[in-house]
Structure formats: structure tokens, C-alpha cells
Structure 1
Amino acid sequence: MRMSQWAHDTFGQRAPLIRQGVAEALSVALENARDAQKVAQTDHLHPFGFTLMSRKFEALAEAFEDMGDVRIVKPGGSQHELVVLDGKLLFPFRYAKDRSLTVMSARIGDGRPSALVQALFNRFGPEPRIRQLTLHDLPPHAVPVAEALGDLPDDTRLVLIAYAANAHAGLLDAWWGEAELLDRFGSLRWHQCEPIPLGHEAGAPASGDSAAAFDQGVLPMPEVNARTGSARRGASPAAEATPIRPEAAGGA
């Protein structure tokens, strides 16, 4: 799949490598979560959900930590490290467990978005086409979180990575782009949204799946840094508050 003008404008000449790295990181996170589910030997999906919740952030950090212009940050209010790549903050979330929901109908969160998610959109999301939540609209507990993001430059841009996945099928599809947060229920208005091609190793459906619209080609994937999160962390973590809950459709 050809790179769009948005991807080139956002990530420059490294856009193809970054897009492939995102696909590979999601694949790693999904496989780790599925492995955890198998080891747990339970019909309940808690092992899959909890593992995916953490690993999707860790895998992105591991994939890009050695690339130039990368910052790995852990803002207050988050249990997870976030990747800021050349001024673009990458934020992955699961918008669906299957293909019954389109990405255009995606919501970020399984209820009300966390204080951190609201603050990220408020500070780094695109200029809204309709009225957006402002700092004064945020609940009181969100204000300290918003202030804690002050270490990031004001021109940081929030790039969303939305994916559909489940414990049985793995990674179904993935998209990236920019959107505004419309309300406290996680509704999004996409300004830019485009698919991320997935290779077979990334959990793409078999060729007989008629729903596979964009993942027919197999792209070479960059090798993900194999170091664990504990090996990477050199700085003491920021104080943790209520963990973020970016997942949609009732789970990680």
C-alpha cells in the first residue's frame, strides 16, 4: 500500500519504516496476550486482556526506542510508557473485538475516557471542527494530569493507532490517523484515518476472509527490539494515579 500524503507529512521519509514497526509491535503484543491466555488455561479472558493492556505500549516502546528523535515518557496518571516519535505521540487502543464495528464508529475507552486520555486530546489533538472539550470542561481530577503533560512541547501531535483484535483470531486490522474527542463518552471525529497493512505474521485473516480489504500484501517487518520493559527503564517512574483505560468494546 502506498504511503499517503498525511503519513509523509507526519513522519517524513521514515513513514514506511514507522508504519511497519507499528504493525510488528501490535503483532508482538497480540501474540504475547494470546500466549498468556493459553498458559492460564481458563475460559475467562482476563489474562489476554491484562497482558494486551500493557504489552501494546511496551512493544511500541521497544520497537522505536533506538530510533532518532524518540522519547519514552510516563506521564502522571498512566501505568504505561508512551512513545513520542519526532514530536508525534503514538497512542494505541482497541476499538473492536471483531469486524462488526467500523473504525469510523470507534470510541476510545469502554466508558468515559480517563483523565489522561482527555488531557492528551485537549493538548495534542487536532484543531477541532466542532467544539472540543477544553481544560475548563475537564473534571477536577483531570487538571493535574493535564498539567503533568507540560514537559511535552506544545506542538506535540497525537497520533492514534486503532486496532481490532480478539484472543481467538489475533490481530484483525489496524488503522492510524488523527481525530478529535467529541464527548466524555469517547466518541471520535477522524480528521485522518488510514489502514496499516498487516502481513500474515501480524495476524491478518486468511485470504478466504472476504472482510480483509487492505491486508493482502505481505510487507517486510522491521525487527522489534527484544529487550523487556524492565531492562529499558533507566529513570524512576512518575507517581502513578488511576490507570488509563483506553480500550473499547469492553476490554483490552
Structure 2
Amino acid sequence: MLVSQWAHDTFGQRVPLIRQGVAEALSVALENARDAQKVAQTDHLHPFGFTLMSRKFEALAEAFEDMGDVQVVKPGGSQHELVVVDGKLLFPFRYAKDRSLSVMSARIGDGRPSALVQALFNRFGPEPRMRQLALHDVAPHVAPVAEALADLPEDTSLVLIAYACNAHAGLLDAWWGEAELLDRTGSLRWHHCEEIPLAKEASAAYSSTLSITFDQGDMPTPALNTRTGAERLTTPVSEAAPADGAASTRAEAASGE
């Protein structure tokens, strides 16, 4: 897979290595969640959801623990540790349970983004192309969380990792990029978004020669997909999104799928 200019500007020559690590971490987290669901021997999907909610952060930390410039931080009030690779804070979230929703219509949060998510966007998100929500407009408890992130350098940038999955099919696809938080429902405006090869494709991408492109070009299609990444990206943003397709760590825990 070719390396975009955004990816090269963000992670330098290590793009294939970091992209492979992200893909493998997501795959590990999903398999752990599916194993938990199987062991639980219940039709309720809580074991899958709770395991995935924690393991997606832990697996990322494990994937990059041997890198010298990796920082793992645990903000006050958060149950999860966040991974910062070379000044880039990696934040994974599930945007859909199936392939019916375009990643361009993804939302982050279950109806309302958490205080942590709001603080991350306010402090480390890209310069907004629209009016950014003031802290008091979003939630009164964001400021204390933002203070808990004060130890991170001001030039830290937020890299979103959006993925679709469910307990039956596992990991369907994954994307990364930068976006701004638009409103209280968790709607995003992507500044850049590109597909991540799934773990079984990442090894081939990593072994290939680094090649830089200056635009996104055609996106590769993961083997599991019946629709190409390009087709999903061209889905109109105004298309009505299924209520159960929005990303949410709380929804993962509650419904699991």
C-alpha cells in the first residue's frame, strides 16, 4: 500500500511499521473480545463489549511498548491508558458495527462525547475549519480533564483510529486520520482519512518499498469488504446513519456488538 503525504508527514519513515502495529493491535483486541464472549457462554454481548473497550487501548500500548519515543498516559478520571507515539496521540473508537455506515459519517461518543474525548479534541485536534465548540458549550466537566492532560506537550496531535467490527465477523475495516469535533452528538469533520490495511495485509505493506504520494488516490480494499473504501468514502455525508452504527465506547460496553 502506498504511503500518503499525510501519513509520511505525521509518522515519517516509520509509517509502515506504525500502521502495521495499529492493525495488529486492533486484531488482537477483537480476538480477545470474541474469546471472552465465547468463554462467557451467554447470548448477551456484554463480555465482548467490556473486553473490547479495555483491550483496544491495552493492545495499542503493547504493540508500541518497545519503541523509544512512546509515552503511555492515563488521564485523571479515565479508566484507560492512552498511547502517544512521537507526539501523536492514538485514539481508537468503533464507528460502526457493520458496513452500512460510511466512515465519513462517523460519530464519536454515544449521543454525547465523553469529557475526555472533548478535552482531547480541544487540546490536540486539528485547527477547526468551522467554529470549535467552547468548553462551556459542550460539558462543564471537560476543564478538569483538560488539566489532567497538561503534562503532554502542547504540540501533541490527535490521530483518530476509526474501525468497524462486531462479535460475529470480527474486524471489518479500519481507518486513521485527523478530524474536528463538530457538535454535542459527536459528529466529525474529517480533515484527512485513509484506510489501514487489516493485519493480514499489513505484513505485505510493511515489507514493500516506501513510496510517497501527494494525494489520497484510490484506496485499497480489505479482503473482507464487499464495498471498496472509495465507495464508502463517496457515500453522501448527509445520508441518514443507523442509530446503532455510531461509534461509542459506552455502546460497546452496553451492547457489545
Deviations 1:28-67 (A, max 9, x none): 0000000000001111110000000000000000000110
**What percent of counterpart residues are identical?**
82
Asked if the contact 2:94–2:163 (Cα under 8 Å) also holds between the matched residues in 1, the reply is: yes
* CA drift at 1:137: 2.7
Question: Within 2, Cα distance between the matches of 1:45 and 1:31?
Answer: 14
Q: What are the superposed Cα offsets for residues 173-208 of structure 1, whole Å, 9 maximum, x if unpaired?
A: 000000000001100000000000114489xx9958
* Distance in 1 between residues matched to 2:50 and 2:147, nearest whole Å: 28
State the one-letter code of the partner of 1:95: Y
Cross-structure match for 1:59: 59
2:14: which partner in 1? 14
Asked if the contact 2:33/2:47 (under 8 Å) is kept, the reply is yes
Deviations 1:110-158 (A, max 9, x none): 2200001000000000000000112343422111111111111111000
Aligned CA distance change for structure 1 residues 16 and 46 (closer, same or farther; 3 Å): same
Query: Do the aligned partners of residues 195 and 129 (structure 1) sit closer, same or farther apart at CA in structure 2, a change above 3 Å counting?
Result: same
Instruction: Using the TM superposition, give the Cα deviation of residue 212 of structure 1 relative to its aligned residue in structure 2, in angstroms.
Output: 5.2
- Report 1 or 2 for greater relative contact order, CA contacts < 8 Å, sequence distance ≥ 6: 2
RMSD, matched Cα: 2.1
Pairing 1:20-99 to 2, within 5 Å after superposition:
20-99=20-99
Paired residues of 2:172 and 2:225 also in contact (CA < 8 A): no
Counterpart in 2 of 1:219?
A: none
* 2:173/2:222 contact within 8 Å kept: no
Structure with the largest fraction of helix: 2
1:153 and 2:153 matched: yes
Distance 1:102 1:172 in 2: 12
Are the counterparts in 2 of residues 112 and 185 from structure 1 also a CA contact under 8 Å? Answer: yes
What is the TM-score with the length of structure 2 in the denominator? 0.80
Give, in angstroms, the shift of residue 209 of structure 1.
5.0
The CA distance in 1 between the partners of 2:131 and 2:224, in whole Å, is 43
Going from structure 1 to structure 2, the CA distance change for 1:122 and 1:178 (only over 3 Å counts) comes to same
Unaligned regions of 5+ residues in structure 1, if any?
A: 215-244
Partner of 1:189: 189
Q: 1:210 aligns with which of 226, 231, 235?
A: 226
Match of 2:100 in 1: 100
Looking at structure 2, the residues matched to 112 and 12 of structure 1 have their Cα atoms a distance apart, in angstroms, of 34
Structure 1 contact 8–15 (Cα < 8 Å) conserved = yes
Q: Per-residue displacement from partner, 1:55-85 (whole Å, max 9, x unpaired)?
A: 0000000000110211000001210000011
**Cα displacement (A) at 1:109:** 1.1
Q: 1:208 to 1:132 in 2, by over 3 A?
A: closer
Matches within 5 A, 1:132-143: 132-143=132-143
Distance across 2 between alignment mates of 1:167 and 1:201: 21
Structure 2: where are the runs of 5+ without partners? 203-220, 231-247
* TM-score when normalising by structure 1: 0.82
**Which residue identity is paired with 2:100?**
S
